[in-house]
Amino acid sequence: MMEQYIEIKANNPGSLLFYRMGDFYELFFEDAVDASRALGITLTKRGQHLGQDIPMCGVPVHAADDYLQKLISLGFRVAVCEQVEDPAEAKKRGSKSVVRRDVVRLVTPGTITEEKLLSPSESNYLMALARIRGGSGAVMALAWIDISTGVFRLAETEPSRLLADILRIDPRELIVADTLFHDLELKPAFDVLGRVVVPQPAVLFDSATAETRIARYYNVGTLDGFGSFSRAEHAAAAAAVAYVEKTQIAERPPLGRPERESAASTLFIDPATRANLELTRTLAGDRNGSLLKAIDRTVTGGGARLLAERLMSPLTDAEAIGQRLDSIGFLMSEPSLCSDLRDALKHVPDMPRALSRLALDRGGPRDLGAIRYGLGAAAQVARFLGERLLPEELQQALAGLAALPAGLEAWLGGMLAEELPLLKRDGGFLAKGANPELDEVRALRDESRRVIAGLQLQYAEETGIKSLKIKHNNVLGYFIEVTAGNAGTMTDTPEAKARFIHRQTMASAMRFTTTELADLESRIANAADRALTIELAAFDEMVKAVVGEAERIKAGARALAVIDVGAGLALLAEEQNYCRPVVDASTMFAISGGRHPVVEQALRRQSANPFVANNCDLSPKHGEALGAIWLLTGPNMGGKSTFLRQNALIAILAQMGSFVPAASAHIGVVDRLFSRVGASDDLARGRSTFMVEMVETAAILNQATERSLVILDEIGRGTATFDGLSIAWAAVEHLHEINRCRGLFATHFHELTVLSEKLSRLSNATMRVKEWHGDVIFLHEVGPGAADRSYGIQVARLAGLPASVVARARDVLTKLEDADRKNPASQLIDDLPLFQVAVRREEQKRAGPSKVEEALKDLALDDMTPREALDALYDLKKQLDTEKR
């Protein structure tokens, strides 16, 4: 057996081998050590190899999915090895023959289909990257597949946007040729992706055989009907298909035909911007707190996945965006219809994933039930939408629902029982009346139960043993059991011995059978086997019928997802008071009363304080064709970062086809969105916070176009003051003169505000604050003009810095502001003593007694009542607090 294991393991390097032995999957050698550590299960041993104990651990077959889920989440790949012959056949080769086993499937992060292993609201993409070198340079392409839903798409890419394109799709697994894996040019991107990247033999990416491999998978003679694809796209698609074949062994998921995506059709969002804006996950990796969580009102798995897809890939086609907005507007105008649709959609199972499991022979009766109930719910949704004047997107969705196989739902409804088991081997999933022969066999089975009960009563009366029972187990089958004290009645006479045949003696009981009972058992066993055979044949028939309608079922499921997204966004807009944006081909960017969609909802949950809405107008000024840039100054905690992010998020929401959190919005299509907000480092790659800031800023300045939107916060803060000011100054000029984009540039370098005098499209804006008795009140309002200072010391006091530190900081700030800015060090070296005590002594000499001291001297303590003394003490404390401010 170990020889067989070692041979199979050698053929599947890089994967943990789940080796089937009875009711367990066993792992040996290093696999066992790794799995026991990862899963927290006991490591044992079995036999020896080369004089060393063989480590072993195992997991029960019935619970394998739970263990697979943990291993896959940790980045492992698993080869599932099953018995592929009947043990009886193995015995024919000799008593010591080993049952033949083989790997039936490779389980990898990008190729899982099990319901337990998949998140209902997230796609599970496998991606392939191919590169073809030619006379005009290298061409790169991506292909991504979700085998759980059948989605198959292609797109060309280039090194400068490779990581952004990959993160837009967010694959669970990315396969690349082993030669490409070690390419130094691509190493930075692969380092960011980490264990997601998996090198594969270069032969999988061979462009010469790519078309043939794809055509063979789809069983077609030519790919002419699929559309026009480049060599690189063919190579990437063929590699993805080959990997699916490699991991699924003999099974083939029902993949849709590959669809080509153009890079220009979606809003380009670079990796840093995706992370900073927390579109689908927060910086901590949580879904709660992300934009997706804030806007998700979908009620189906397919709808949730489509919403995430739209959020990750906003459109750049104003007409297509308008069609999505039309759907939302229509559903908002029909609240009763919207409510009915959502109620119907709540009963829609995940048909694409059920379909995929059935096609891969991993499905069960409940997957057939999902198709049945999904088709029924789809018909109900179609009835709600029928005979209405619908916008274009909903018309197309209705057409997809109308194309669903109408008779399939009725046929499955007549075949399937109401209560369905998880596994087909359990039987009992066919409805009464679905198969006449099955009804007869079931009647026999049910009648036999009554006969056994009658036999038990007959034997009890015949022997006079009232406690006599007829029982069943998997070893003896049916048997008669009596206590040891009553067994004599059945063994004392030759007639009794002939009638009651002894089977087993227990400590406190004896077991018997009869010819009559054995015959009945045989008939029952045959009936159960025959019933299961009939049901399994019917199951295969239903699966064949469902898989035969795969394309229409997937199209209908996609239509339901579109309706779910539209209804969910309509509910969101009504609930949160969102407006319909105007999206066109201009360079406008005018937001009135804009709000941050995530922060606004968080404030509403946590307090009664409303979110302060703000305007943002980066539209072209009179006579200009290009958009404007705002230079935003103001204190920390004043709301600059929130204001910056909310405008970027509003642009994304508008171009994904959603209403937006604003009173009104007019947005000219943004082709590229860049957001550099917040500080982070990359110590693993030897990059400081400032270095990361400069790398991200460089990417923005090198890629932004006239139609781009750039959000920058505190550029240059990570270095010396004058260095940082110089970098920020030059960056603003570059954005204005070279990139010529729309932008928001937040800074604490107040010196930059003078640039508005020479840069025609640059305007100054500030976060408004109010001072009250030395305290600063943040109004979170944006207005024209420039801040005169940053109020950093006030913020430091609010943060809880010791009063002595705050006072010292005020003193240093005053002297710095009074010093000669050309050479502050020479003037301040004598003016700023190193120790606070020196400062206080100097102040005391210069200023004399404080007001509190003067008041204290004037108090006539002996003449005061206790009440007057207490009042005086409170007054002194009040004066002291005022002086500290």
Could you list the residues known to form a binding site for ATP, using ranges: 634-641
Maximum alpha-carbon separation in the chain: 129
**How far is it, in rounded angstroms, from Cα 798 to Cα 573?**
37
**How far is it, in rounded angstroms, from Cα 442 to Cα 543?**
23
CB distance 330 to 391 below 8 Å: yes
Query: 633 to each of 222, 532, 593, 714, how far by Cα in Å?
Result: 61, 75, 19, 10
Backbone phi, then psi, for 803, in 5-degree steps? -60, -35
CB distance 299 to 346 below 8 Å: yes
- How many Cα neighbours within 13 Å face the side chain of 383? 10
CB distance 714 to 746 below 8 Å: yes
Backbone phi, then psi, for 152, in 5-degree steps? -145, 115
Give the three-class secondary structure for 779: strand
Query: 752 to each of 632, 724, 763, how far by Cα in Å?
Result: 10, 11, 11
**How far is it, in rounded angstroms, from Cα 438 to Cα 538?**
10
Query: 25 to each of 68, 104, 112, 252, 426, how far by Cα in Å?
Result: 11, 13, 18, 24, 21
- Nearest by Cα to 566 from 310, 389, 289: 310
Annotated binding-site members: 634-641
**How far is it, in rounded angstroms, from Cα 94 to Cα 236?**
48
**Torsion, CA 781, CA 786, CA 788, CA 793, rounded to 10:** 50
Give the three-class secondary structure for 269: strand
CB distance 708 to 267 below 8 Å: no
- Nearest by Cα to 579 from 499, 649, 660: 660
Q: Which residues contact 474 (CB under 8 A, 6 or more apart)?
A: none
Query: Residue written as tokens 């002595």?
Result: 804
For residue 439, the surrounding DSSP H or E stretch is: helix 436-463
**How far is it, in rounded angstroms, from Cα 261 to Cα 264?**
9
**How far is it, in rounded angstroms, from Cα 766 to Cα 782?**
6
For residue 144, the surrounding DSSP H or E stretch is: strand 137-146
**How far is it, in rounded angstroms, from Cα 102 to Cα 92?**
19
> How does DSSP assign 174-207, residue by residue?
EEEEHHHHT-TTTHHHHHHHGGGEEEE-GGGG-T
> How does DSSP assign 399-427, residue by residue?
HHHHTS-HHHHHHHHHHB-SS--SSGGG-
**How far is it, in rounded angstroms, from Cα 832 to Cα 375?**
80
Neighbouring CB atoms inside 10 A of 65's CB total: 15
